Chains A and B, each alone.
Chain A
Amino acid sequence: MKINLSHLKSFNWLSYLALIIAILVCVPMLIVSSSLLSEFGPTWPHLIDTVLSDYVINSILLLLGVSAGVLLIGVPTAWFTSMCDFPGKNIFSWLLLLPLAVPAYIIAYTYTGLLDFAGPLQTTLRNFTGLGYGDYWFFEIRSLTGAIIMLTLVLYPYVYLLARAAFLEQSSNSLEVCRTLGYNRTQAFFHLSLPMARPAIIAGLTLALMETLADYGTVEFFGVSTFTTGIFRTFYGLGDTVAASQLASLLLTFVAMLIILERYSRRQFRYHSNSEQRAAAQLIKLSRKHTVIVWVFCLVPIGFGFIIPASVLAFWAVTQAEFIISDFMTLAWNSFYLAISAALIAVFLSLILAYAKRLKNSKSVTHAVSIAGLGYALPGTIIAIGIIIPLAWLDHQLIGLFHSLFQLDIGLVLSGTLFALLFAYTVRFLAISMGAVQSGLEKIKPNIDSAARSLGNSNVQVLVNIHVPLMRRSLLTALLIVFVDVLKELPATLILRPFNFNTLAVHAFELASDERLIDAAPASLMIVGVGLLPVILLSQSIRKMGN
């Protein structure tokens, strides 16, 4: 009896913690959606008359375009690198991840610098042909199409990663059964591999689309009016917090649809995954002709998504950009410790949530965990607005309190400090660390817990002594992904950063906004470079998975 009681006690302690985390993660979303209850102010007729339809149409077109793009690149490359055998396959399988290190706004700045009127390409073209302004047609990168291409180039790895994992997990036996039932390799791909990987592909797609909805830097720079730019304009330009928040809750409905789709396909994962016995699939040996086609197919996204922009950035940073080393180091340090802190917080909280769920799969804990996972779907803009409103209110209460009690002016301790930023990052990125942590934890058989408990370990000891060492790879993955994402994050940082506090991302954005694209190169390059590090580490584990 006693043992049971102590078990219950530790469960309660953890599950309460899980509930509190879930509630905190919910705050921004609740604040934003509650704005729908407040009165629609005078800004609204103006919004509806002028820009709202642009926001909706452009956002939808952006989603459709990016969907097509990431599927067309992500799925075939995943299949080539998982099921085919061709020279260079292993190199391609991790090179294809590299664009993950490049934020969309940075690739947008780079291609704008390359392709706009004053850029090297058009200048060379004019010098050669002697044509002048308006004499010729040239692709306008700063457009909706441009934004779709930019976002596709950096977001396809989400589809690639998940689809590849799904293809690799498919048991070779299933494919062989399919063959014995009269399907050739191509038919087997369309009738079996693809449908079986569909939940994973859709999950990857929804992740890419959530990023698309969250993007601010690219669409703002390209002058494409979407929800995110609209929220910024309403918040800063019109100074209407309530209307901005109401606009944000409209965006939230888009997000909600994506969440439902994502959750649905994730639920199907369970049944779509194969039995534990997994023989390595026989790889398809490609002929020389097909190898060339596959090479081109893989090299295009790698080249345009990473090699070209990174080389151009490096060239600009080394030869032309004007910057001061000491200022730059401060920026780098700011970005780095923010990202590390946020990653540690997110992984720690994920562990608590995942373990609480493992200990007691009660309804309340399960709900808490799935709510805590919603943050990832929320664009940084929504989270920032949902955080600045309550924190500003709290700060004003605190200032009043401290002033009346101690005659102290404490300033904005919550909304004006890194607290707000870390809070926002945690809300936004908790879900991705959760994903990695949960999958790591699920791989550990429940009997291992029971064995450790029967050998005298408490629940917390099981977590520390057994789970954490066993899942250190998953934990590391979680840390890395959050780290990269925080480093690249722009809109929430723009809104919530303390006065005079700059990160690499904000710095690059500000310079780019001033049309100093070349001067933005060092900061951009740094983001890409640091972002590259975890991507390379991630690719190592992927290479292991492939072999």
Chain B
Amino acid sequence: MLNMNAAELITSPLIELKNICVGYDAQTVVNNVSLAIKPGEIGCLLGPSGCGKSTLLRAIAGFESLHQGEIRLSGILFSDISHTLAPEDRNIGMVFQDVALFPHLTVQDNIAFGIRKRQKSERSARVGQLLELIGLENCAEKFPHQLSGGQQQRIALARALAPKPKLILLDEPFSGLDAKLRETLVPQVRHILKEENVSALMVSHDQAEAFSMADKIAVMNLGEIHQWDTPYNSYHKPVTKFVASFIGKSRFLPAKTLCEHCIETSLGTLESKSPHGFKAASAVEVLVRIDDVRHNNDAKYSAKVKNKNFHGSYFTYELVLEDGTEVLCSIPAHDQYKHDIGDTFKLNLAIEHLVLFPR
């Protein structure tokens, strides 16, 4: 424990948001948000559209002023209520969803755009280094319109990296691309960022993207951050019901606590190793992930198939229990049991950590 605290002290946050509020006119879009990113860390603001994540990003970049709170980079005040450092003086790079490459400049001129004041030799060395890093050495002379979407996105990243910013902001950088391309590009971008040892904050509404990209995820809704945590914890230890429902496929079952460790649901009594934190006999809801529901012919509970969905290697089933509540279940496609809509099959729950919310 002591060692960890020491490590925390050494790596003081690169960027720190303290209780910030951002809004347009009377409307508050970002409400009392606090966040800290360590050097070299990649964060992600994850949330449904309209949750304020892009506005938050723009406030960090200096395009929006604060109604409350402050933003510091390496301890230096960048924004507070009364003053907003101009975007050009922040040395924070930004990458947009629509790439926003300068169409009239070649690839190398695009990348060199932010380092025009450096010496020519230094400039071309940096451009060459970045082109190599993004794997587009032979595209230096090309114009943006001659390149594919993925290539353009990598160039936009290189352009933002060129001045060696301490922080890169990525506004939905992959949502304009098709799923296949996204799968290859996301790890590439993560690799590039780690290689450059730059901190990054990405905005996304796609959890798969956030999981494979980020070290830490801030789940946002209605202008507030619900949880700022590792992807693992966001999934397994959601702190609010919104986080639990937004991340992963799951349903909630009504339950009643029996003791400090156990609860009773319509699918039987469940017990967790650590105390769940609710008093006995309180009405709660338990989070049931799709992978918590097991098909088991020996079980005593049964459910009816409401809908099913084929995903190649597995099926997902929407099931209705006898009391009318719903759960999800995934079953490998090569499983010997095939169930059609309207069929009934036996199931039980296999939950290790109980995630409960008051009902």
**Inter-chain contact A271/B113, CB cutoff 8 Å:** no
**A268-B104 contact in complex given A176-B61, A179-B88, C-beta closer than 8 Å:** yes
User: Quick check: is B96 within 8 A (CB to CB) of the other chain?
Assistant: yes
**Inter-chain contact B103/A177, CB cutoff 8 Å:** no
Q: How far is the CA of A275 from the CA of B98 in the complex (A)?
A: 7
Inside 8 A of A173's CB, which chain B residues have their CB?
Answer: 96, 98, 100
Which of A178, A181, A183, A196 has the largest count of B CB atoms less than 10 A from its CB?
A181
Inside 8 A of B88's CB, which chain A residues have their CB?
Answer: 179-184, 187
**Inter-chain contact A192/B97, CB cutoff 8 Å:** no
Contact of B63 among A176, A198, A272 (CB under 8 A): A176
**Those of A150-209 within 8 Å (CB) of chain B:** 171, 173-174, 176-184, 187, 191-192, 195-196, 198
**Inter-chain contact B102/A181, CB cutoff 8 Å:** no
**A282-B63 contact in complex given A181-B163, A275-B98, C-beta closer than 8 Å:** yes
**Inter-chain contact A184/B86, CB cutoff 8 Å:** yes
Scan B89-112; emit 1 where CB is below 8 A from any A CB, else 0: 111111011111011110000000
Contact of B104 among A177, A187, A271, A275 (CB under 8 A): A271
**Those of B47-106 within 8 Å (CB) of chain A:** 61-63, 86-94, 96-100, 102-105
Give the bracket for the number of chain A residues in contact with chain B. Answer: 20 to 34
B68: min CB distance to chain A, Å: 21
B9: min CB distance to chain A, Å: 31
B166: min CB distance to chain A, Å: 12
Q: How far is the CA of A241 from the CA of B154 in the complex (A)?
A: 63
**Inter-chain contact A277/B163, CB cutoff 8 Å:** no
User: Quick check: is B346 within 8 A (CB to CB) of the other chain?
Assistant: no
**A274-B87 contact in complex given A176-B61, A178-B113, A181-B93, C-beta closer than 8 Å:** no
Contact of A179 among B87, B96, B104, B159 (CB under 8 A): B87
User: Quick check: is A362 within 8 A (CB to CB) of the other chain?
Assistant: no
Chain A residue with minimal CB distance to B146?
Answer: A271
**A272-B159 contact in complex given A180-B87, A180-B88, C-beta closer than 8 Å:** no
Inside 8 A of B86's CB, which chain A residues have their CB?
Answer: 179, 184
**Inter-chain contact A192/B102, CB cutoff 8 Å:** yes
User: Quick check: is A273 within 8 A (CB to CB) of the other chain?
Assistant: yes
B337: min CB distance to chain A, Å: 44
**Inter-chain contact B92/A180, CB cutoff 8 Å:** yes
**Those of B302-320 within 8 Å (CB) of chain A:** none
User: Quick check: is B150 within 8 A (CB to CB) of the other chain?
Assistant: no
Q: How far is the CA of A171 from the CA of B97 in the complex (A)?
A: 12
Given A173-B100, A184-B88, A273-B103, 11 more A-B residue pairs with CB atoms under 8 Å apart are A173-B96, A173-B98, A177-B156, A181-B160, A181-B163, A182-B91, A191-B116, A198-B104, A274-B100, A277-B98, A277-B176
Q: Can you spell out 23 A-B residue pairs with CB atoms less than 8 angstroms apart?
A: A171-B98, A174-B100, A176-B63, A176-B94, A176-B96, A177-B94, A177-B96, A179-B88, A180-B61, A180-B114, A181-B93, A181-B163, A182-B88, A191-B116, A192-B102, A196-B102, A196-B103, A270-B145, A271-B104, A271-B144, A273-B103, A274-B100, A277-B97
> Interface residues, chain A, CB within 8 Å of chain B?
171, 173-174, 176-184, 187, 191-192, 195-196, 198, 268, 270-275, 277, 282
